[in-house]
Every structure is written in structure tokens, then in C-alpha cells.
Structure 1
């Protein structure tokens, strides 16, 4: 049996990245991917057993990083209020982690957030909105332990802001391909929301 070659696998991944950026998961074609990679369609299945496995190879590592960073930020926010540090000094973590992802993995994040329809990741955007909502609720309540005291209007505001933030990031990813540009725009966008939140938080 012919030994699988890492350079062929990387060619497949590069071709798949371009295909999934241009087409939703459900519409992406293994035939187009194999043609772009310069191999037969049959040969591509020696490296990835199906389209789902190929898609997962591209987006799963980035999804796990993004989720881990957001959960770490949420935990840091919770600790900051427990320690009496309500100034959100954790904001630098956002730039070092989440924003950094958009520079290194802008294509994969574009696919994950905008092109995953039909895959097991199709609910990622909704998941992100829910997670960002809990982070905003913590901020509004000055800590998770006080979140139960939020009014219905405050909870609705957190959901609306979270949806706007996630949709704004998705829009940036859709309209720009250069990682450095995406990173700069996401950074500016998050800073704008952070400044607005700080102005709106109670003393």
C-alpha cells in the first residue's frame, strides 16, 4: 500500500480551505477539492474518509481554541469581580487570545462562522451568541453570583448586544481575507463595544 504523504495531505487541506470559503459545507464538492489538490477523487478518500472528516480537520482545532479562550475570559471576569477588581483589566487577554486567532486563522474562522451550514458546526454562531451573552450578563451584574438579579430588560440587552457582536465579527470575516486586516478590524470593533459597555455599567 502506498505510503500517505504529508505534502499531499497539506495540498488537500489547502484546496479544501479554498472550497469551503467559497461554498457552504453542504454545497462544497469533494470533486472540486481533489481537482484543485491535483489528485483523483478516489485518492482523496485515502486521506479523509468523507467531507465531514475533511471539514473537521480544518475547523475543529480553531473552534476548540476559540471556545477555550472565551471560557477562560468568562472565568477571568468572574474572578475579577470576586476579587473586587471590577475594572475588567482582563481586556488585554481578549487582544492576546481571541483577536490573535483572527490574524492566524481568519480563513478557518470565516468557514466556521459563515460557511458551516449543513455540518455539525452549523450551530456555532448561536453557541457563540449564548456564550457572549453570559459574559455580558456577568458584566452587567458585576459577577455571575449576581446575575440572577438582572431584569428581563437587562437580559434582553445582553442577548441583543451579543448577537450584534457575533454578527459584526462574521461580517468582518466575510468581507476581508487578509488576516492582519481582520485582526485590526475585530480589535477595533471589540474595543468599541468594550468602551460602550464600560460607559453603561453602574459605578
Structure 2
């Protein structure tokens, strides 16, 4: 009997991902998920307490995985080896993109009404802070000081929005990875020479 329960749960999850990806969290319907997974609404509630609980089980795990790696950036001591560590952490984040592209697309594009609806702001703020710290370190070595980080904020905002669009529009893992890495290179390569400082 356990096999049958696992199959039902898997079917609910598969249909929920499709429903959230198509309609977003706010417009998604448990009734529609039940119908498309060949079960009843009551049966879904045996597996998940609510639509929010179902969404959390699908999207929350990916969000927390990304945040776990993002938080590791905070622990990186800024020195000459920091760039290598950043690229290694970036590679781990890219692996999450490879494994959970649809869930990340839902997180970034379809979370309105859920507790993750402001996740883009969290990502933008984090990227802005990390890049600002790295740039300030690089400028300090040159005896200079960053005037402000507004251009870094604009680039970080553009990067997160661009990643959201890539994940929504593209499905091929290799293409997604290449596009994201190219964007990071376009936005941040040699950025230190484009910033205002004194």
C-alpha cells in the first residue's frame, strides 16, 4: 500500500508544479490540482495541510537551498583568494539552477500572494551587498574609496530580473546556465573601473 501512497503524492506534486508554474501561487487551485492528479481535494489534504503547505514543500526547499549558499558568501573573508571562493559558491548555486529550474522559475516569477513574493528583493539586496563589499576591498587596495553603490544596485536588480526571464522563457539546462554566466560576466566583468570613487 505504501507504493500507492507514494504514487499519489508524486502525482499531486507533479500537477501542483504545473499548476503553480501556469497560474502562479495566488491563482492556483487545489481543486484543479486534485482533478489533474486524479485524486480528491480531501485526499490532497491528507498529504498537505493547505495550498501554502503544498507550495512550501515544493518551493521552500529550493529557496532555502539557494539562501544557504548565498549565506556562505557572508562568511567569505575578503582577501586575494575571495574571488576563487565566490566562483566556487557561484558554481554550487548554478547546480541548484540546473536541478531545480522550474521551481526557481516559479519562485522568481509566480510567488505573488505567498511568503516568497519578495524573494527578488532579498536576492537583489544580497548581490548588491556582496558586490559592494568586494569592490570596496579592491578599491581600498588601490587607496581609493567607493563614492556610492547605486550602479551596483542597478546591475544586481537587472541580473535578478534577467535570471527570472531566462528561467521563464528557456528550458534547456545548458542554455540556461550559459545565459546566466554570460550575464554575470557582462554585468560585473571589470566593474571596478566603471564605478565612481574618490
**TM-score, normalising length from structure 1?**
0.84
Q: Is 170-179 or 118-127 further displaced after alignment?
A: 170-179
The equivalent residue for 1:177 is 171
How far did residue 43 of structure 1 move? Answer: 1.1
CA RMSD of aligned residues (A): 2.4
1:46-98 alpha-carbon deviations (Å, 9 max, x no partner): 1111100000000111111111111212422xx132xxx06722243144211
Pairing 1:121–2:112 present: no
Correspondence 1:1-203 to 2 at 5 A = 5-76=5-76, 79-81=77-79, 85=80, 88-142=83-137, 150-151=146-147, 154-197=148-191, 199-200=193-194
Number of aligned residue pairs: 191
Task: Verify the 8 A CA contact 1:105 1:179 in the aligned structure 2.
Answer: no
Q: Deviations over 1:135-192 (max 9, x none)?
A: 111022117x99xx643xx221121111111111111111112333322221222233
- Runs ≥4 in structure 1, deviation > 6 angstroms? none
Q: Gaps (5+ residues) in structure 1? A: none
CA distance in 1, matches of 2:88, 2:99: 16
* Aligned-partner SS, 1:5: helix
Cα distance in 2 between the residues matched to 1:55 and 1:180: 27
SS where residue 34 of structure 1 aligns? helix
